[in-house]
Homo-oligomer: A and B are copies of this chain.
Amino acid sequence: MQKSGGQDQGNPAGQIAARSRGRPRAFDRDAALEQATQLFWRKGYAATSISDLTEAMGIGSPSLYAAFGSKEELYAEALRHYAERYEFRVWGNFRAAATAREAIMVFLRDSTAALTGSCGSNGPLGCMVTLSAVGSEGHAELGERVRVARRVGLTRIEDRLSRAVSAGELAGKVDIPGLARFFVAVQSGMSILARDGATRAELEAVASNAMRAWPETAG
């Protein structure tokens, strides 16, 4: 439908791309994308209008369409931006943890901070990916992207738990996908609690309770 090309401004390593000719863009594309992301994050896809976006981004609609193509493409790029800019708050320490149990623990604990905005983030409450309902709103392609993003988290946990089985930290009979889905479900539930105004301390209690479900090592 759209001439998808665009200018591929998203260069891989933050480098300034080869200078194009013609009039230069008058706004900071990344800053505008950040504003759009937060708006989609807070209000969802359907309830966010182009007017809302252009006002928050401080640009006119032709500039928006020149830089991002369409509302759908902008949302897709906002999802990418969100993953790059915010997900490390939840997954950063997860990767570095020595044991799977600690990994899950910091995953849940860091989530309490990220979801309630207690980590210095200026973002809205809850997780943009978890709370997105764009797939149910009649935008199948975007919905699939969101589902994939959700599945990434599940797979990360599954992989970490599988490694724990190999390392003897978990018994081989443990249902790894089931356990992984449980922890993902807990974090998803925390997103909804956060959006309803739950405090970080309240989410900490949820996380502590969830950790009690950790399988007995039966040592």
Contacts and interface: CB of A to CB of B under 8 A. Distances in A.
Contacts of A152: none
A181 interface: yes
Interface string A205-219: 110111111010000
Chain B CB within 10 Å, residue with most, of A43, A138, A182, A190:
A182
B205 A181 contact: yes
A215 B210 CA distance: 11
Please give the count of copies of this chain that the complex contains: 2
Contacts of A197: 147
A178 B209 contact: yes
Interface centre among A47, A136, A209 (most CB of B within 10 A): A209
A42 B205 contact: no
A-side interface mostly: helix
Given A136-B195, A137-B46, A213-B213, A205 B189 contact: no
A138 to B, nearest CB: 6
A76 interface: no
- Bin the interface of chain A by size: 35 or more
Interface string A32-52: 000000000011101100000
A193 interface: yes
Interface of A: 42-44, 46-47, 130-131, 133, 135-138, 147, 150-151, 175, 177-179, 181-182, 184-190, 192-193, 195-198, 202, 205-206, 208-213, 215
